[in-house]
Chains A and B, each alone.
Chain A
């Protein structure tokens, strides 16, 4: 990105830009964590509240739920990449 002839290959990011990038990354991770908490709660936790503690079944369900959420994340990423490639190739004349 040699804009106005200043660039030397690498884009020079200002402090604001670097902090904004770090913020975006933090937001992304926080967002994923919150979704994980919400969705795995819905799928694993009994709302009868017989106990305040997690039952064995709930704990096992949670561990698997988190692992599967990550796996789903990776799979969707792969699929989107593939779709993106098909799309780009189709756009070439």
Chain B
């Protein structure tokens, strides 16, 4: 495929930034959904209990560490695959 010239690269960069913003919002709302479903099951009170808060904290931390690790492995696999194609 033809490489992008400077102007095209600039346009593409703008697109990437828009997508990153959207991606971040999606990550956030997915994390809320995930930790809510996994941690909040008691509706005898309208406030989060201490136990629920601890669970949510650990859930968020764990998910971020999870996606960080998957990201690293993803990059490695991607690099290995494109090397295989160029051989």
Interface residues of A (CB under 8 A from B): 13, 15, 18-19, 21-23, 26, 29-30, 33, 36-37, 40-41, 44-45, 47, 49-54, 58-59, 62-63, 66-67, 70, 74
Chain B residues, Cβ within 8 Å of A21: 1
24 A-B residue pairs with Cβ-Cβ distance under 8 Å, sorted by A, are: A18-B2, A19-B4, A19-B11, A19-B12, A29-B78, A33-B70, A36-B70, A37-B67, A40-B66, A40-B70, A41-B66, A47-B38, A49-B38, A52-B58, A52-B65, A53-B62, A54-B66, A54-B69, A62-B69, A66-B73, A66-B74, A67-B73, A67-B77, A74-B81
The smallest beta-carbon distance between B84 and chain A, in angstroms, is 9
Please measure, in the bound complex, the distance between the C-alpha atom of A15 and the C-alpha atom of B2, giving whole angstroms.
10
B57: interface (CB < 8 Å): yes
Q: Does B15 contact A (CB under 8 A)?
A: yes
- Nearest-CB distance from B81 to chain A (Å)? 7
Q: How large is the interface on B (under 10, 10 to 19, 20 to 34, 35 or more residues)?
A: 20 to 34
Q: Is the CB of A18 within 8 A of B4?
A: yes
Instruction: Knowing A23-B15, A49-B62, say if A13 contacts B2 (CB, 8 Å).
Output: yes
Given contacts A62-B70, A62-B73, A66-B77, contact A53 B16 (CB under 8 A): no
Whether B70 lies near A66 (C-beta < 8 A) is yes
Q: How far apart sit A18 and B12, CA to CA, in the bound complex (Å)?
A: 10
